[in-house]
Amino acid sequence: MLVTVMVFTGCVYAAESGYCGEKILTFGCDADFNSKYVWKGIVINDKPVIQPVVWLSAYDVTLSIFGNFVQDNEANRGKFNEFDFTVCYSRQFMNFTIEPSFEFYTFPNQDESPDTGMGILKVSYPVGPVNIFMSHATDLVNYSPASFSEAGCGTDYDINDRVSASALAYIGAGSSKFNETYTGLTKDAVNLAGMNFSITYNAAKYFYLRPHVEITSIIDSDLRNQINDPELNNSLADVSNIGITMSLEF
């Protein structure tokens, strides 16, 4: 792969755990243990990683820092090879939730990956038990006008007072500049389809466990061939990741 960049679509860590849009001061941290690091259907690290997050939220604004710690990699084993700094604003308008954000990405121990940043806009709307969302991310620093858009729907279900389940299905499309930068193929495409499933268990006061699984598949035929070519990319067109997140929220 040409460049390693992690882009969160519209305050992912804040949105998944409910951090965005809180009116009072809240803060917390996560430790996410994953079998691999997958971003937009592309395998960044194909061995286990630990991804810690710390966050602070107040008056509709969330600040967060994400890190990627490599556990088994010939170049960066036992080191952080990425930090992402995010500021996200969340606002309700009628029944819409609007979340603009900016994310800055830096890559220690990766000389071939320059720092960059993206502006992101996510809009979601509830329809019965389902939440429909669309998001658009545009690089504003090093790879303009590379962009990636997603659309999908998700739902949550409370099994009991301490356990809930979540499911999400989505598709993602990359601009020609985005696909050229991250796969080497200069083409606008509907890149992928994906699904996420998770169970959240409130194990104790302030403490949560969330096992999760993500499945992604590259659906554009030219992009599949490009990603599956071992001489061009160190990735696969069909990828699954399983992990467990431990969270403290105050």
State pLDDT tens for residues 92-151: 999 999 999 999 999 998 888 899 999 999 999 999 999 999 999 999 999 999 999 999
Does some domain include residue 119?
A: yes
Does some domain include residue 246?
A: no
pLDDT at res. 114: 93
pLDDT at res. 234: 64
Answer whether residue 214 shows pLDDT above 70. yes
Identify the residue with better confidence: 67 or 46.
Answer: 67
Between 203-207, 229-233, 246-250, the lowest mean confidence (pLDDT) is in 229-233
Does some domain include residue 247?
A: no
- Domain membership of residue 123 as a residue range: 12-229
Backbone torsions φ then ψ of 176, nearest 5 degrees: -60, -40
Cα distance between residue 192 and residue 181, in whole Å: 16
pLDDT at res. 24: 83
Q: Tell me the CATH number at 65.
A: 2.40.160.40
pLDDT at res. 228: 82
Average pLDDT, the chain: 89
Q: Tens of pLDDT along 49-66? A: 999 999 999 999 999 999
pLDDT at res. 229: 77
Identify the residue with better confidence: 235 or 81.
Answer: 81
Does some domain include residue 4?
A: no
Between 24-28, 74-78, 91-95, 214-218, the lowest mean confidence (pLDDT) is in 74-78
Give the number of domains in the chain: 1
Share of the chain above pLDDT 70, in %: 88
Does some domain include residue 243?
A: no
pLDDT at res. 73: 64
pLDDT at res. 11: 47
Average pLDDT over every residue of 195-222:
97
Average pLDDT over every residue of 142-168:
97
